[in-house]
């Protein structure tokens, strides 16, 4: 008998609950996701962990979350990723893949049947540097005043610098005379991040009538990046009365090589 009364009360209670949950219209989540944790690891696949908004602020079942982020000073497009919520409304974890050595701003909002709810306070993270992953751009080689060779290049593309460029390495190979075979460390450069300035280097005293092959790599705190394609400059035989004065060669780092010279 007593059991039946309890069952009846339970039934009524369930009906009331049913009524209240169905008659209260849903609205946007009025609070942000909580306990957001962003870890920075040594690689730049970053785990983000968070909990749903407080129960009283969800205003309906949370279906998904929109994660919005952008980068600075490497300006990345505003990215929004939508992540499914866990069905039991527990914490969620999601991995974003970011550019190396950049500052990112993140906000997360919970999405319910009505739409996108309140954003979290912005969170900031700085990603770790990694070695440059592309070579410098456009190597220019110019035979200069007969005893010097001028080299010039631009830093790697902004998103390939991956850290503050602190120096460049020039690889020089002489052929057929193996003169000046060496790696030159160019560290007298201005260090801005991201680097944009053209860098020039004047190589003194090349051997006459020889071929020199050059390639250049960028260096940051994490290591040396890839070398540019090789570019060759031929020096001229000593011939005081007939020596060309103005020889230049330039290349787009591939195969074109163009000589311009003027003899006396």
Ligand X SMILES: *[C@@H]1O[C@H](CO)[C@@H](O)[C@H](O)[C@H]1NC(C)=O
Residues that bind ligand X (CB under 6 A): 34-35, 51, 66, 73, 76-77, 80, 82, 101-103, 111, 115-116, 126, 167, 176, 185, 187-188, 193, 200-202, 209-211, 219, 234, 245-246, 262
Number of Cα atoms under 13 Å in the Cβ half of residue 168: 32
The CB-of-72 to ligand X minimum distance in angstroms stands at 7
User: Considering Cα of 55, then 60, then 61, then 67, what sign does the dihedral take?
Assistant: negative
**What residues form DSSP beta bridges with 66?**
82, 109
Q: Of the two residues 4 and 42, which places its CB atom closer to ligand X in the complex?
A: 42
Q: Of the two residues 26 and 167, which places its CB atom closer to ligand X in the complex?
A: 167
User: Whose CA is closest to 73, among 103, 107, 40?
Assistant: 103
Cα dist from 44 to 66, 100, 219, whole Å: 20, 6, 19
Q: Of the two residues 137 and 211, which places its CB atom closer to ligand X in the complex?
A: 211
The CB-of-79 to ligand X minimum distance in angstroms stands at 8
The CB-of-81 to ligand X minimum distance in angstroms stands at 7
Q: Of the two residues 56 and 262, which places its CB atom closer to ligand X in the complex?
A: 262
The CB-of-68 to ligand X minimum distance in angstroms stands at 8
Helix, strand, coil content of the chain in percent (nearest 5): 10, 40, 50
Cα–Cα distance, 237 to 177 (Å, whole number): 13
Cα–Cα distance, 120 to 107 (Å, whole number): 5
Q: Of the two residues 201 and 250, which places its CB atom closer to ligand X in the complex?
A: 201
The CB-of-167 to ligand X minimum distance in angstroms stands at 5
Query: What separation, in Å, do the N-terminal and C-terminal C-alpha atoms of the chain show?
Result: 122
The CB-of-52 to ligand X minimum distance in angstroms stands at 9
Give every CB contact of residue 21 below 8 A, 6+ residues apart in sequence: none
Q: Of the two residues 45 and 200, which places its CB atom closer to ligand X in the complex?
A: 200
Give every CB contact of residue 62 below 8 A, 6+ residues apart in sequence: 29, 52, 53, 85, 89, 110, 111, 112
């Amino acid at each position: 008998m007593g059991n039946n009364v309890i069952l009846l009360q339970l039934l009524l209670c369930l009906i009331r609950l049913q009524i209240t949950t169905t008659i209260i219209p849903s609205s946007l989540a009025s609070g942000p996701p909580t306990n957001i944790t962003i870890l920075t690891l040594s690689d730049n696949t970053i785990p983000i962990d968070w909990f749903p908004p407080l129960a009283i602020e969800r205003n309906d079942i949370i279906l998904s979350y929109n994660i919005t982020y952008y980068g600075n000073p490497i300006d990345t497009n505003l990215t929004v990723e939508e992540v499914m919520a866990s069905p039991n409304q527990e914490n969620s974890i999601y991995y974003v893949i970011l550019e190396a050595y950049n500052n990112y701003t993140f906000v997360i909002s919970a999405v319910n049947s009505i739409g996108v709810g309140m954003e979290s306070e912005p969170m900031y993270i700085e990603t770790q540097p990694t070695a440059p992953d592309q070579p410098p751009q456009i190597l220019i080689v110019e035979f200069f005043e007969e005893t010097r060779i001028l080299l010039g290049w631009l830093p790697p593309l902004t998103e390939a610098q991956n850290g503050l460029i602190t120096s460049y390495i020039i690889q020089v190979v002489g052929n057929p005379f193996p003169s000046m075979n060496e790696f030159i460390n160019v560290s007298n450069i201005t260090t801005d991040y991201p680097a944009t300035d053209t860098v020039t280097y004047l190589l003194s005293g090349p051997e006459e009538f020889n071929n020199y092959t050059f390639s250049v790599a960028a260096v940051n705190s994490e290591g040396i990046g890839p070398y540019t394609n090789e570019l060759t400059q031929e020096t001229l035989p000593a011939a005081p009365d007939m020596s060309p004065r103005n020889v230049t060669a330039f290349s787009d780092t591939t195969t074109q090589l163009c000589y311009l010279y003027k003899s006396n």
